[in-house]
Structure 1
Amino acid sequence: MRDELRTKIIQVCDKKIAAKGDNVGLSFYAFFANKNDDPELLMEAATWWIQTHQLDHFVKARIIKTMIENNL
């Protein structure tokens, strides 16, 4: 996974946790604007989320952050 995407995921997770608490869930769509302005990055996130880790649609932000920080 690109460093750009790792950084973005951690920032979004931190922001969501700060705003809504430790149990907030999110999907990989949370890392992107409503318009598809970077399809390659979106597919990279989707592949990591769906194919690599077979995660549910919504996962706790703290779990995603930990996975990214541990290079999973």
Structure 2
Amino acid sequence: MRKELRERIVEVCDLKIEKKGAMVGLSFYAFFKNKNDQPEVLMEAARWWIETHKLDHFEKAVKIKEMVLAGV
């Protein structure tokens, strides 16, 4: 996964955790604006989330952040 996407995921996870607590869940759509202006990056996140790791639609932000920081 590209560096910029990893950084964005960690940033969004941190914001969500700070705002709503450690139990907050999110989907991979949380890392993007409401318009599809980066389809390649969106598909990269979707592949990582769905195909590679077979994650549920909503996962805990803490879990996703830990996975990204670990380079999984």
TM tier, shorter chain?
Answer: over 0.9
Listed as ranges, the gaps of 5+ residues in structure 1 are none
CA–CA distance in 2 between the matches of 1:61 and 1:11? 11
What amino acid is aligned across from residue 63 of structure 2 in structure 1?
I
Query: Pairwise mapping of residues 1-72 of structure 1 onto structure 2 (< 5 A)?
Result: 1-72=1-72
Listed as ranges, the gaps of 5+ residues in structure 2 are none
What amino acid is aligned across from residue 9 of structure 2 in structure 1?
I
Q: TM-score, normalised by structure 2?
A: 1.00
Runs of 4+ in 1 over 4 A off after TM superposition: none
Q: CA RMSD in A?
A: 0.2
| CA-CA distance at 1:16 after TM superposition | 0.1
| CA-CA distance at 1:12 after TM superposition | 0.1
- SS at structure 1 position matched to 2:33: coil
- Percent of pairs with identical residues: 65
Q: TM-score, normalised by structure 1?
A: 1.00
What amino acid is aligned across from residue 52 of structure 1 in structure 2?
T
| Equivalent residue pairs, number | 72
